[in-house]
Amino acid sequence: MTASSRRRAPAGLCLALAALGAQAEPMNFDAAWQRMQTGSDKLAAARSAVESKQLQGRGFKGLGGPTVSLTGAAYAYNANLTVNLDAVNQRLLQLDQRLPIPLQNLPIPLPVPQFPSRYTFNHHDTGNTSSVSAVWPIYAGGVSDAVRGFVTAQTSEAQADADQAGHELTTLLVQRYFGAQLAARAAALREAALQTIEQHDAAAQKMLDAGVISKLERLQARSALEEARRNAQKARDDAELSAVALTRTVKADERVSPTSPLFVLTQPVEPLQHFVEAALARHPGLAKVAAKKAEAEQLHAGQEALRRPQVFAFGQRELKSTNADWVAGVGVRWTLWDAIDRNALEASSLKQVEQAERIGAQARSDIALLVEKNWRALDQARRQYLAMQPGIALADEVLRLRVAGLREGTSTTLDLIDARVNLAKVQTERAQAAHDYAVALANLLESCGLSEEFSNYMARADVKVE
């Protein structure tokens, strides 16, 4: 391989990158994040849950206020009433005996009038009625406030779930966006290495024909070429799959080509305590636990409210212009005893509050540990990337020496191919380290509830793997 062919390698890499990005929509990370925010079904479902709870809270806002209802009815009836008249007949006989002259003793005797022993009355009619009534709970022991507080806590829980979904999707986007970037770069490096090895293979054939190298060396060069082709094809397939995954994540109509490069901040990020404090203040998991505790407290308040008396005003009036019937008053209801064990329910609700408190304490401990783990993983990825820098320079120098050695007869074609493959391998590993850094940063920010800050850290990066 000549020095001029070695200088053409970067051009081959550029051509390979251009081929991989053909017929694709260029998209930077911020644009991909915005597309995901508007197109994600998971986020849309979480937002719908929040809006549902907000509307539910709006619906319960007037709970405990007056209720006015209008009642109307049209009716028809048929009524039968059977009356026993034996007692009346007996009474008539008694009255006849008390008369000065009984009716039977008159000059013209008169029979004592008698009614049938039973008589059935029948009445039927049609009509209609209408009335307006109102009930106003004056005091309900705090049930209305407990219900509204419970719905508010459920809204907070739904919001925490939505925030968590947003952080998780941001991390997923980072994995797929920079995963596609890494796969495209790896494919381009493999393609560029394949082009170089093809040149070496052609040169090896000429050298065999000239008797400069042995047939064994020629076969070794051919074997290296076949392996390079297999690696390049696999890298192209991986890049295609990664591009499809990214395209579906951002709901794009055509394949997306990521344009934001892999990056690394060579200086450490903020101290661990900064992220721990942010996590304890902003992590959606803690917000959800707090909402669960608030729900348990409101359930307890509702149980206590049911023990108190209820005072209400009521009124009803017929809807007609004259002689309307009406009623109004104030009522009190106090349940002295029922079949439900209120003491057991109160103890149960208090245990739910205690459970939420215990879960919250455990969650704070777990989140602090998770933040520390992710913070250390990020710093390890940073140091790993920096440690690879000398390896790049070394692999590049080995390739240069192999080129010179082949020209001077001290190196074989296989040595040159191995050096070229090793350089592509080291460059791919360095890109992998940058990818690992980006994913570690996303994991750290997610564990702190700061995923929206990812772009700011990306802008601060002093190393970009172009």
Q: Would you say residue 368 lies in a domain?
A: yes
Q: Is 328 contained in some domain?
A: no
Instruction: Give the phi and the psi of residue 120 in degrees, each rounded to 5.
Output: -110, 125
Q: Tell me whether residue 320 is in a domain.
A: no
Pair 14, 125 in one domain: no
Residues of the chain by 3-state class (helix, strand, coil), percent to 5: 65, 15, 20
Q: Do the domain assignments include residue 335?
A: no
Residue 318 in domain = no
Residues 289-333: pLDDT tens digits?
A: 999 999 999 999 988 888 889 999 999 998 887 888 889 999 998
| Tally of CB atoms within 10 A around 329 | 9
Choose one of 89, 121, 139: the last residue of a domain.
Answer: 139
Per-residue pLDDT at 48 = 95
The mean pLDDT of 225-240, rounded to a whole number, is 92
More confidently predicted of 203 and 378: 378
Q: pLDDT digit string (tens) for 171-195?
A: 999 999 999 999 999 999 889 889 8
- The CB density around residue 446, as the number of other CB atoms within 10 Å, is 25
| pLDDT given at position 1 | 37
Q: What digits encode the pLDDT tens for the residues 115-149?
A: 777 878 788 889 888 999 999 999 888 889 999 99
Q: Exposed (0-12), middle (13-18) or buried (19+): which is 327, by Cβ within 10 Å?
A: exposed
Looking at 139, 162, 191, the residue that finishes a domain is 139
Q: What domain range is 71 assigned to?
A: 67-139
Whether 457 is in a domain gets the answer: yes
Owner of token pair 């053409």? 8
Residues 146, 135, single domain; the answer is no
